[in-house]
Amino acid sequence: MNPISNSPANSAARAIAPSKADSSATKTDKASIFDFHSLSEQKHKIKELVLNPKQKFYKKTLKIFNNEISKTIDSLSPLAGLVLASIAASTGVGMLASVLYGIAPILISKLNTKALVPWLNRKNEELNDNDPKVNLNRDLVFDKATQENLFYKIKQFLGYKSELQTEELGKTVGTSNGNLLILHGPPGTGKTAIAEGVAAIAKKPLIKVNVNEIESKYVGESEKEIAAKFKLAKKMGAYLFFDEADALLMPRPENNATGGSIHQTKITNTFIQNFNEHSDKVKVILATNTANSLDNAIKSRSILCSVPAPNIEMQLKILYKKLSDFGLSKERTNLIKSQETELRELLSKDFAHFTGRDIESAVKAAFFIAESRAQQSASAIDFKLADIEQAFTNLNSDKERSNSSELRPASQKEQIQKSKAFLSLLGV
Q: Is residue 427 part of a domain?
A: no
288 alpha carbon, distance to own chain's centre: 14
- 86 shares a domain with 144: no
Q: Do 100 and 237 belong to one domain?
A: no
Give the per-residue pLDDT at 393: 93
User: In whole angstroms, how far apart are CA 128 and each of 52, 57, 93, 204, 238?
Assistant: 12, 14, 49, 10, 12
Instruction: Write out the H or E segment, with its range, that includes residue 139.
Output: helix 136-139
The answer to whether the CB of 393 falls within 8 A of the CB of 361 is no
Mean pLDDT (10-residue bins), the chain, 428 residues? 37 34 37 57 45 66 75 80 82 79 82 77 61 73 87 87 57 58 92 91 87 68 88 90 88 63 83 89 91 87 91 92 89 92 90 91 92 82 89 90 57 56 50
Domain count, the chain: 4
Evaluate whether residue 172 is within a structural domain. yes
Instruction: Name the residue type at position 215.
Output: E
7 sits in the region (left: phi over 0; alpha: psi -120 to 50; else beta) called beta
264 in the same domain as 116: no
Single residue among 107, 128, 149 that ends a domain in this structure: 128
Burial degree of 129 (CB within 10 A; 0-12, 13-18, 19+): exposed
Cα within 13 Å of Cα(377), Cβ side = 10
| Residue 196, SS3 per DSSP | helix
On whether residue 396 sits in a domain, the answer given is yes
Confirm whether 232 is domain-assigned: yes
**Nearest residue to 54 via CA among 128, 152, 108:** 128
Report how far residue 185's alpha carbon sits from residue 290's, in angstroms, rounded to the nearest whole number.
Answer: 6
On whether both 223 and 256 belong to a single domain, the answer is yes
Last residue of a domain, one of 271, 306, 341: 306
Residue 278 shares a structural domain with residue 364: no
Q: What are phi and psi of 72, to 5 degrees?
A: -65, -45
**Whose CA is closest to 274, among 244, 248, 303, 304?**
248
Sign of CA dihedral 298, 299, 304, 309: positive
Closest Cα to residue 370, out of 350, 354, 390? Answer: 390
Residue 151 included in any domain: yes
Q: Please tell me whether residues 301 and 317 are part of one structural domain.
A: no
pLDDT of residue 358: 93
> How many CA atoms, within 13 angstroms, populate the side-chain half-sphere of residue 220?
0
Tell me, what's the pLDDT at 166?
Answer: 54
Residue 312's Cβ-count burial label (10 Å; 0-12, 13-18, 19+) is middle
Q: Within this chain, do residues 178 and 252 fall inside the same structural domain, yes or no?
A: yes
Residue 46 lies in a domain: no
- H/E stretch holding 119 reads helix 117-128
- In this structure, the answer to whether residues 343 and 294 fall within a common structural domain is no
Same domain, 323 and 234: no
Residue 162 has what DSSP assignment? -
Q: Residue 276 CB: number of other CB atoms within 10 A? A: 11
Q: Indicate whether 154 and 259 sit together in one domain.
A: yes
Comparing C-alpha atoms, which of 312, 328, 396 is closest to residue 362?
396
Which pTM was predicted? 0.64
Q: Residue 240 belongs to a domain with what CATH number?
A: 3.40.50.300
Residue 357, CA atoms < 13 Å, CB-side half-sphere: 12
pLDDT score at 419: 55
One domain, residues 72 and 213: no
In a domain, 421, yes or no: no
Residue 384 maps to a domain: yes
Q: In this predicted model, what pLDDT tens digit does every residue of 209-259 receive, in sequence order?
A: 887 777 765 667 888 889 999 998 998 889 999 998 888 888 877 665 544
Strand, helix or coil at 133?
coil
Q: Do 293 and 338 fall within a single domain?
A: no
Question: Which of the listed residues 306, 328, 352 is the one where a domain comes to its end?
Answer: 306
Q: ∠ at Cα 415 (410, 417), nearest 5°? A: 125
Burial grade of 201 (CB within 10 A; 0-12, 13-18, 19 or more): buried
- C-alpha to C-alpha distance for 359 and 348, rounded to whole angstroms: 14
Q: Which domain holds residue 152?
A: 136-306
Contact 346, 312 (CB under 8 A): no
